A and B are shown apart, each in its own frame.
Chain A
């Protein structure tokens, strides 16, 4: 490149190249700050095209790349598994472009990027948890028009959501929401808790760590700060139920106190979804 062309490039950009330029990082950082200032509000941001496709974690990746510093240690999981192929690909992209250290143990990390799970343990006030969000809009099932959705959040009018949950309970005897259970944050905004299982929802309430939610395709970022009230929407006489199967224990480490996933068959077996926790439990290293 000629020296004239070099001069024309904004100075901020020339030092820091790779996947995400300095300019984009700032925009994401500003959006993250707004998200933290207004817990649960979906902040719009100029989502960039990433080497991973939309729907595959491009939002989570942008947050991680904007936030991560040279002293951070990264853990990346998918369904709780560090070895999940998508997690491996994302971790590889992050480490190659930033040169930070990586780990599979949450307690040794400082930033955890995750699809669909919160680690069973190890997160404290030092941590930032980045969750990948496919659909950030919790009211998607009860309202299609985006203008109306914006009004509902702006005016904290969640009546349609409540009616829908009530009808669900009446029709089915239980509330049938599976993962991504809608929660009220700081008594103000209802959020989509990505598809994390109900099992993980209590970890968000008054957590010691900061949770950032990235939706790259829909171009929204939201946050739950530490020590913030996160309440699953339910009725007084309808207890919030997590996924638990009587008698199920992990066939590797024996746990019945972690989130288990099924290996189907004539005789179902179960294993921990959090593979690192499972290994440490097996080794007595919790």
Chain B
């Protein structure tokens, strides 16, 4: 009867799930631990945390492993998990100047205030696939591990003075030189929470920034590129003022003492982009600034974000760039909707076939074409 017949569909799903699980667990190679993924694919881990809006390297690594390397799928796993977590507290506002840098560059000036710190980057290294002995690489890794050498300075063991770790921003210097438009607010409005309310144009800047901060990296880079060189063409490339990668402290109010207490650090990438104002109604003797920030080490995303931030502001609702940013850059929305096309659509298809016949019938009956 009705319920017994339901077994058919369930059997099919369970068979598919078993197939996935068996292949994932029994691949013809060694098991991979979250440590290895965090250690060897750190940028994938960082990207997934950024798009999920959840800071926890091990969980991101587990998600990547479970998703068999499909990063958007991993983001979905992490975001669903985030949905189930209880909320203890809201963090206190963090001043971005507290960022302790492990990498910091200022393309706009040769000698900016504070250091140019290349840090860990392969930007200037030739893109040559290293096929030299696999064995040599493994041996070196083992040697380094046994000597317990770490690669990056940890914020709890600062070396270098405060100016090295928290360099003065180029923006401050430009402000002193009276070269910046000043859009700093004196009020302190509540930021828009995109996890609670969907953002639609016209939206506040905080809604745009938080949407971009969680956007899919490729989507945001593509939005940037198609606006520079593609058919949309609403923006112009910026000069970068700051590109920073470092640690920010996280604080909450202690439930008993009522005092703010630091509970840890998150690692972020932060960008300040200097925009040359050249519009008719703009202050042409000044610069303006765009801001980008995201979890983990993800420079292309933060740079695209900063450029798109200032572009949106300058666009001021004339075009649909804001709508594109708010509505088409979320990885879960875009890939979910795309892949839903694989679901059965035979009711809609039957309806379309019926209309094809109707149109042909109407032509036969001498209706206008």
Cβ-defined contact, A241 with B358, below 8 A:
yes
Shortest distance between the CB of A128 and any CB in chain B (Å): 20
How far is it, in angstroms, between the C-alpha of A279 and the C-alpha of B1 when the chains are bound? Answer: 8
Asked whether B181 is an interface residue with its Cβ less than 8 Å from the other chain, the reply is: no
How far is it, in angstroms, between the C-alpha of A82 and the C-alpha of B2 when the chains are bound? Answer: 9
Asked whether A127 is an interface residue with its Cβ less than 8 Å from the other chain, the reply is: no
Interface locus among B60-68, B83-91, B98-106, B241-249: B83-91
Asked whether B120 is an interface residue with its Cβ less than 8 Å from the other chain, the reply is: no
| B348-359 to A contact mask, C-beta < 8 Å, 1/0 | 101111110111
Cβ-defined contact, A46 with B368, below 8 A:
no
In the complex, which residues 139-174 of chain A have their Cβ closer than 8 Å to any Cβ of chain B? 144-147, 150, 170-174
Cβ-defined contact, B359 with A197, below 8 A:
no
Shortest distance between the CB of B83 and any CB in chain A (Å): 5
Asked whether A130 is an interface residue with its Cβ less than 8 Å from the other chain, the reply is: no
Quick one: which of A7, A24, A150, A196 contacts B200, CB cutoff 8 A? A150
The verdict on A44 contacting B198 (CB below 8 Å), with A92-B10, A104-B6 known, is yes
Asked whether A84 is an interface residue with its Cβ less than 8 Å from the other chain, the reply is: yes
The verdict on A218 contacting B198 (CB below 8 Å), with A171-B369, A172-B362 known, is yes
Quick one: which of A24, A89, A259 contacts B13, CB cutoff 8 A? A89
Quick one: which of B76, B86, B351, B358 contacts A197, CB cutoff 8 A? B351
The verdict on A49 contacting B332 (CB below 8 Å), with A197-B347, A197-B351 known, is yes
Asked whether B258 is an interface residue with its Cβ less than 8 Å from the other chain, the reply is: no
Asked whether A121 is an interface residue with its Cβ less than 8 Å from the other chain, the reply is: no
Cβ-defined contact, A47 with B13, below 8 A:
no
- Chain B residue at minimal CB-CB distance from A145: B320
Asked whether A243 is an interface residue with its Cβ less than 8 Å from the other chain, the reply is: yes
Cβ-defined contact, A178 with B355, below 8 A:
yes
Interface locus among B123-131, B183-191, B298-306, B336-344: B336-344
Interface locus among A10-18, A204-212, A222-230: A10-18
Quick one: which of A9, A83, A173 contacts B363, CB cutoff 8 A? A173
How far is it, in angstroms, between the C-alpha of A107 and the C-alpha of B323 when the chains are bound? Answer: 44
Asked whether A88 is an interface residue with its Cβ less than 8 Å from the other chain, the reply is: yes
Cβ-defined contact, A85 with B9, below 8 A:
yes
Asked whether B29 is an interface residue with its Cβ less than 8 Å from the other chain, the reply is: no
| A273-286 to B contact mask, C-beta < 8 Å, 1/0 | 10110010000000
Asked whether B121 is an interface residue with its Cβ less than 8 Å from the other chain, the reply is: no
The verdict on A50 contacting B80 (CB below 8 Å), with A79-B346, A104-B2, A179-B347 known, is yes
Asked whether B158 is an interface residue with its Cβ less than 8 Å from the other chain, the reply is: no
Cβ-defined contact, A105 with B2, below 8 A:
yes
| B323-340 to A contact mask, C-beta < 8 Å, 1/0 | 100010000110111111
> How many pairs of residues, A versus B, come closer than 8 Å at their CB atoms?
195
Asked whether B79 is an interface residue with its Cβ less than 8 Å from the other chain, the reply is: yes
Cβ-defined contact, A243 with B350, below 8 A:
yes
Cβ-defined contact, B333 with A49, below 8 A:
no
Cβ-defined contact, B344 with A78, below 8 A:
yes
How far is it, in angstroms, between the C-alpha of A177 and the C-alpha of B358 when the chains are bound? Answer: 11
Quick one: which of B80, B193, B196, B355 contacts A51, CB cutoff 8 A? B80
Task: Point out which of A21, A46, A88, A117 has the most chain B C-beta atoms below 10 A from its C-beta.
Answer: A88
Q: By the criterion of a CB under 8 Å from any partner CB, how many residues of chain B are at the interface?
A: 62
Shortest distance between the CB of A147 and any CB in chain B (Å): 6
Asked whether B26 is an interface residue with its Cβ less than 8 Å from the other chain, the reply is: no
Which residues from B are CB-within-8-Å of A25?
none
Which residues from A are CB-within-8-Å of B359?
172-174, 176
Cβ-defined contact, B82 with A49, below 8 A:
yes
Asked whether A71 is an interface residue with its Cβ less than 8 Å from the other chain, the reply is: no
Cβ-defined contact, A55 with B368, below 8 A:
no
Asked whether A33 is an interface residue with its Cβ less than 8 Å from the other chain, the reply is: no
The verdict on A85 contacting B332 (CB below 8 Å), with A178-B351, A179-B347 known, is no
The verdict on A243 contacting B84 (CB below 8 Å), with A56-B343, A261-B346 known, is no
Cβ-defined contact, A13 with B86, below 8 A:
yes
Asked whether B114 is an interface residue with its Cβ less than 8 Å from the other chain, the reply is: no
Which residues from B are CB-within-8-Å of A116?
345, 347-348
Asked whether B150 is an interface residue with its Cβ less than 8 Å from the other chain, the reply is: no
Which residues from B are CB-within-8-Å of A117?
347
Cβ-defined contact, B333 with A146, below 8 A:
no
How far is it, in angstroms, between the C-alpha of A199 and the C-alpha of B332 when the chains are bound? Answer: 33
Which of A's residues lie within 8 Å of B, judged by CB?
4-5, 7-10, 13-14, 17-21, 24, 27, 44-51, 53-56, 58, 78-89, 92, 102-105, 115-117, 134, 144-147, 150, 170-174, 176-180, 195-198, 217-220, 241, 243-245, 259-262, 273, 275-276, 279
Q: Would you mind naming 9 contact pairs between A and B with Cβ atoms under 8 Å apart?
A: A8-B89, A9-B86, A49-B83, A51-B80, A86-B344, A104-B2, A115-B343, A173-B362, A197-B350
